[in-house]
Amino acid sequence: MPNDSDTNRPSSQSVFDTKHLMTDLKARAVRGGIATMLGQGDQFIIQIASTIIMARLLVPADFGLIAMVTAITGFAILFKDLGLSMATVQRSKITHEQVSTLFWINVTVSTVITLVIFGLAPAIAWFYGEPRLTLITMVLSLVFVLGGLTVQHQALMQREMRFKALAIIRVISILAGLIAAIAFALIGISYWALVIMQITTAMFNTAGVWLLCHWRPSHPFRRVDVKDLLVFGANLTGFDIVNYFARNLDNILLGRFWGANVLGLYSKAYSIMMLPINQIRAPLNAVAIPTLSRLQNDPIRFERYYIKLITLIAFISMPLMTILFVCADQVIYLLLGSQWLGATDIFKLLCINAFIQPVSTTWGLVLVSLGQSKKYFMWGIINSVIISISFILGLPWGGIGVAAAYTIVSYGLLLPTLWYCFRQAPVSMSGFFSAIFRPTIASIVMGLVIFVLRSYFNFSYEILSLVFSAISGSLTYLIAFIILPGGLLILRDLYSYRLLLFKKEAS
């Protein structure tokens, strides 16, 4: 593969022309997925360490304060992108002039957002009745402008499938943020350590992206046609807006009506549940978008890739969430300590939700990669309204009520979502359920076996109980998966991908 040029106009082949990727797309996708997953694994280890260390250095209310701010200000992050990064990745043809224009749009918008959030800091503190939030919000507003500087650079690297470089940047940035947070927590500045973590991570990410992506923007071009890109991005941003509101309304409502302690328990349970999901979904989705985008004009290969994608996601995520559900008490105790055991029931309910969530949300990958951004936005509105209503209905019962309502609605929306989103797409509902059938059955069998074994074996230490459950559960899962019709063939297919890791890339 050619190297990026160090000039303002990089090599068209290396950045803007993706035809050379088609010569070995499968191998590139597998290598990119492995590189991204390894990087995600490193992030997972760092985040687990962060959770264990920071939960012992700080108290639930400290996390609750930051959750109050990010539940509102995090909404503004959606506008720094405007969906223009995905527009750059998805389009089969794009020019240096177009990307430069999009870059300056992102930077301008993110700067405006920083100023607006800075000015709204007193209002946010007033809304929660917490004066400390004023200065916290002002400092965190800097994350927006830093993020705006990286949008197009990251998009170009993703378009070129440079996933190893992106993974390195993310790992280093998160590690730097954790080191800074620990240092400040040890000197006793409590919740400010969490603020420093976010700022440091954003700074290192910006520096890393600019260092490893050699493309540099030119001045904006007024006569360059970016209308279609802006429309595509606007629909994606519209979806992100309504989706963000729905996904964070639970935090806002719990913080407003139940206080920082309840919100701290809920948000920490949710974040622990999302940790393993993100390690699986994020790297695979990052590779899937550019890969499916390159296959949008080849329906047969598109469907084949999508089915293998959700099969792999289900194969990993479903047994993992089953183990976390059955062993929820040990997981919470070991990661957070005894003072967080009040989050156990919330965590269990969220694990039930997460059993299907990683695969059920892949409908977005299909619509985005096919360029159906309007349809993506419209279903996002319907989906978000229903989820928001569920949060309100569950609010009288606190964190447990909200988690239960969210889980029920997530399963209730599955069939309507697939029916709507797979129409006029080269994938089918039958193919979806066929792909997740074996992981579902094998995971249920695994969960029952672990439950029975835990009732017969008592361990003095929580860690021994968790390890025993994980090992016995994993063996049960693999045996059950192999016994199911076609299970062994799927395992062989997944195992065969290892050969592609050592295949030389085509230039």
List the pLDDT tens digit at each of the 507 positions of the chain: 334 433 344 444 455 555 545 455 555 666 666 666 676 677 778 877 877 887 788 777 778 888 888 777 766 766 767 677 777 766 667 777 777 888 888 888 888 888 988 888 898 888 888 888 899 888 888 888 888 888 888 888 777 777 778 888 888 998 898 888 888 888 877 788 888 888 999 999 999 988 888 778 877 666 666 667 778 778 887 887 888 778 778 988 888 888 878 888 898 888 888 877 877 777 777 777 777 877 878 888 888 889 988 998 899 899 999 999 999 988 888 888 888 888 899 999 999 999 999 999 899 888 988 888 888 899 989 999 999 999 999 999 988 999 999 999 999 999 999 999 998 889 999 999 999 999 999 999 999 999 998 878 777 777 888 888 889 999 999 999 999 988 888 888 777 655 444 444 443
479 and 429 in a single domain? The answer is yes
Q: What's the residue count for the chain?
A: 507
116 and 58 in a single domain? The answer is yes
Furthest CA-CA distance within the chain: 73
Q: How many domains does the chain have?
A: 2
386 and 449 in a single domain? The answer is yes
Closest-CA residue to 469 (of 449, 495, 489, 498): 449
Report pTM.
0.70
216 and 277 in a single domain? The answer is no
Question: For residue 246, is it within any domain?
Answer: no
71 and 120 in a single domain? The answer is yes
410 and 354 in a single domain? The answer is yes
201 and 296 in a single domain? The answer is no
Question: For residue 135, is it within any domain?
Answer: yes
Question: For residue 26, is it within any domain?
Answer: yes
Q: Write down which residue in 168, 202, 225 finishes a domain.
A: 225
CB atoms within 10 A of CB 357: 20
265 and 213 in a single domain? The answer is no
Q: Write down which residue in 225, 250, 285 finishes a domain.
A: 225
- Rounded to whole angstroms, how far apart are CA atoms 182 and 2? 41
Question: For residue 266, is it within any domain?
Answer: yes
Question: For residue 185, is it within any domain?
Answer: yes
State which residues form the domain around 373.
260-502
Q: Write down which residue in 225, 248, 274 finishes a domain.
A: 225
200 and 265 in a single domain? The answer is no
Token output for 3: 């190297």
Closest-CA residue to 77 (of 158, 178, 161, 198): 198
Question: For residue 234, is it within any domain?
Answer: no
277 and 403 in a single domain? The answer is yes
